[in-house]
Chain A
Amino acid sequence: MTHMNFARFVAVFALCFAALGTPRAHALLEIDITRGVAEPMPIAVTNFYGGGRGEQDFGAKISGVIAADLERSGLFSPIDKKAFIQDAESLNVLPRFGDWRIINSQALVQGNVEMTVDGRLAVTFRLWDVLAEQQMVGARYFTVPSNWRRVAHIISDSIYKRITGEDGYFDTRIVYIAESGPKTKRVKRLAIMDQDGENHRFLTDGFDMVLTPRFSPTLQEITYLSYYKGVPRVYIFNIDSGRQEVLGDFPGMTFAPRFSPDGKSVIFSMSKAGNSEVYIMDLATRDVRQLTDHSAIDTSPSMSPEGDRVVFNSDRSGTQQLYVMDADGSNVKRISFQKGRYATPVWSPRGDLIAFTRIHNGQFFIGVMRPDGSGERLLTQGFLVEAPTWSPNGRVLMYFRQDRTDAYGRGGKTRVYSIDITGHNEREVITPLDASDPAWSPLIP
Chain B
Amino acid sequence: MFRNVAFSIVFHVALVVAAYVGLPSFNDFEDVQDVPISVEIVTVSDDTNLPTKPKEPEPPKEEVKAEPKPTPKPPAPPPAPKGSVEAPPEPEPLPEPEEEKVAVIVNPDPKPKKEAKPKPKPEPKEEPKKVEAKKRAPTPIPPRKPKPPDQFASVLKTLEELKTAPREETPKEQKKAEPKRDFASMMENALESDKSRMDIGPELTISEKDLVRRQIQRCWNLPAGAKNAHEMIISIRMAMNPDGTVQQARILDDARMSTDPFYRTMAESALRAALNPRCQPFKLPPEKYQRWKDMKLTFDPREMLGL
A residues contacting B by CB (< 8 A) are 5, 8-10, 12-18, 20-22, 24-39, 41, 75, 101, 104, 106, 129, 131-132, 161, 163-166, 350, 352, 365, 377-381, 394-395, 420-424
Contacts and interface: CB of A to CB of B under 8 A. Distances in A.
Contacts of B21: 20
A17 to B, nearest CB: 5
Nearest to A18: B191
Contact of A9 (B5, B159, B302): B5
A131 B269 CA distance: 11
Contacts of A12: 9, 12-13
Given A27-B200, A378-B159, A381-B159, A38 B222 contact: yes
Interface string B250-286: 0000000000011111101111110111100000000
A420 B157 CA distance: 10
13 contacts: A15-B191, A17-B184, A18-B192, A22-B192, A29-B292, A29-B295, A31-B177, A36-B155, A131-B275, A377-B158, A379-B157, A421-B225, A423-B156
B196 interface: yes
Contacts of A106: 272, 276
User: Which of A26, A32, A35 counts the most B-chain CB atoms under 10 A from its CB?
Assistant: A35
A433 B178 CA distance: 60
B243 interface: no
A36 B220 contact: yes
B188 A22 contact: yes
B106 interface: no
B221 A41 contact: yes
A134 to B, nearest CB: 10
A365 B225 CA distance: 20
Contacts of B222: 36-38
B226 A166 contact: yes
B247 to A, nearest CB: 14
Given A9-B5, A9-B12, 17 more contacts: A9-B9, A13-B12, A18-B187, A26-B199, A29-B179, A31-B179, A33-B213, A33-B297, A33-B299, A34-B302, A35-B175, A38-B155, A41-B221, A164-B265, A166-B227, A352-B228, A377-B156
Nearest to A33: B299
Nearest to A98: B277
A165 B228 CA distance: 12
Nearest to B249: A132
A350 B169 contact: no
Contacts of A31: 177, 179, 209, 212-213, 216, 295-298
Contact of A423 (B158, B217, B295): B158
Interface of B: 5, 8-9, 12-13, 16-17, 20-21, 27, 31, 35, 81, 85, 152, 155-160, 162, 167, 169, 173, 175-177, 179-180, 183-185, 187-188, 190-192, 196, 199-200, 204, 209, 212-213, 216-218, 220-228, 261-266, 268-273, 275-278, 290-304
A165 B223 contact: yes
B292 A17 contact: no
Contact of B157 (A16, A104, A166, A422): A422
Contact of A36 (B162, B177, B196, B301): B301
Given A166-B226, A422-B224, A36 B17 contact: no
A373 to B, nearest CB: 15
B169 A25 contact: no
B221 A39 contact: yes
Given A29-B291, A35-B217, A38-B221, A365 B298 contact: no
A281 B224 CA distance: 38
Contacts of B213: 31-33
Given A421-B225, A422-B224, A17 B187 contact: yes
Contacts of B156: 377, 422-423
Contacts of B27: 24
Given A29-B292, A31-B216, A164 B226 contact: yes
User: Which of A13, A38, A101, A129 counts the most B-chain CB atoms under 10 A from its CB?
Assistant: A38
B155 A166 contact: no
Contacts of A132: 268, 271-272, 275
A416 to B, nearest CB: 20
Nearest to A24: B27
A316 B236 CA distance: 53
B20 A36 contact: no
Contacts of A163: 265, 268
B283 to A, nearest CB: 13
A31 B16 CA distance: 27
B208 to A, nearest CB: 10
Contacts of A164: 223, 226, 265
Contacts of A394: 227
A394 B160 CA distance: 23
A366 to B, nearest CB: 10
Contacts of A104: 278
B158 A18 contact: no
A33 B9 contact: no
User: Which of B228, B275, B301 counts the most A-chain CB atoms under 10 A from its CB?
Assistant: B275
A381 B159 CA distance: 8
Contact of B209 (A29, A35, A420): A29
